[in-house]
Amino acid sequence: MSAIDTLPPLREVIATHQLSARKSLGQNFLLDLNLTAKIARQAGDLSDCDVLEIGPGPGGLTRGLLAEGARRVLAIEKDPRCLPALAEIAAAYPGRLKVINGDALEIDPLAYLTPPIRIAANLPYNVGTELLVRWLTPPDWPPFWQSLTLMFQREVAERIVARPGSKAYGRLAILAQWRAEARIVLSLPPEAFTPPPKVSSAVVHLTALPEPRFPANAAILSRVVAAAFNQRRKMLRAALKGLAPDIEDHLTAAGIAPTERAEQVSLEAFCALARQLER
């Protein structure tokens, strides 16, 4: 019998520890351990990895990650009410689960982790997007993590994996796809959660590429993409005119028609424009 079987069902855990879901903490729990195991499997081969989990709550995904063989899990949870439930999991997996009570936006987890490191989380969406952007924009590349397996609101997941020519294509797609491989690996209806949120969700798996897909200076690329998509309905020659007085020449040199709109421009072309502007 694996250790996961010795722990009580999650509904019982929630009742015992009185973990009524708090809206202010974005608490929509996953109570089906088959589902949390499935999400954990999407995180890849965990056996030689430390896994950073943000927002473990009552520990459904935590149990999945440990049962799937994670070497160690570091779980950061803001809600102190969840700590006794997580302590029970730590006792069932001696030496493999460390829990930190705090805000993931303020804690530097690196001191507690040994590479290779994977990240997995079912987080409130606003915190998830903010952390995703941080994880995708470290000072150096490759980053400290090998992969990210993250639950998002379906609409946000679509923005992460979007291709040019679609409404969802924008800064998040460029940021995610420039230096990572991003895929939607699982879709979940609201009923998968307790309590159910208003919208559907999806799990996105991102794998860090060893190098950017196309060369570009990160700061310049970020500035170009921000300006281009801030006025996404404008032609690029207008949207980007604040970046350089001769922007039309730069666009043409990068192989982009100045009359194009941001939504039509590939990642490769944005990188070419960033290189052109760096000259």
Contact residues for ligand SAM (CB under 6 A)?
Answer: 25-30, 54-57, 60-61, 76-79, 82, 103-105, 122-124, 127
Give the residue closest to ligand SAM by C-beta. 55
Least distance to ligand SAM, CB of residue 162, Å: 23
Task: State how far the alpha carbon of 47 is from the alpha carbons of 9, 52, 67, 141, 210, in Å.
Answer: 24, 14, 10, 24, 21
CA–CA gap between residue 30 and residue 24 (Å, rounded): 17
Least distance to ligand SAM, CB of residue 194, Å: 8
Q: Which residues are annotated as a binding site for S-adenosyl-L-methionine?
A: 28, 30, 55, 77, 103, 122
Nearer to ligand SAM, 60 or 143 (CB): 60
Least distance to ligand SAM, CB of residue 50, Å: 18
Nearer to ligand SAM, 35 or 209 (CB): 35
* Nearest in space to 49 (alpha carbons), one of 144, 129, 131, 141: 144
* Nearest in space to 156 (alpha carbons), one of 179, 176, 135: 176
Angle between helices 171-179 and 154-161 (to 10 degrees): 60
CA–CA gap between residue 233 and residue 263 (Å, rounded): 8
Could you tell me whether strands 29-30 and 193-194 are parallel, antiparallel, or unpaired per DSSP bridges? antiparallel
CA–CA gap between residue 139 and residue 163 (Å, rounded): 26
Least distance to ligand SAM, CB of residue 113, Å: 16
Nearer to ligand SAM, 93 or 169 (CB): 93
* 99 contacts 56 by C-beta, under 8 angstroms: yes
Nearer to ligand SAM, 123 or 136 (CB): 123
Nearer to ligand SAM, 58 or 170 (CB): 58
Tell me the torsion sign for CA atoms 184, 256, 135, 153. negative
Least distance to ligand SAM, CB of residue 34, Å: 13
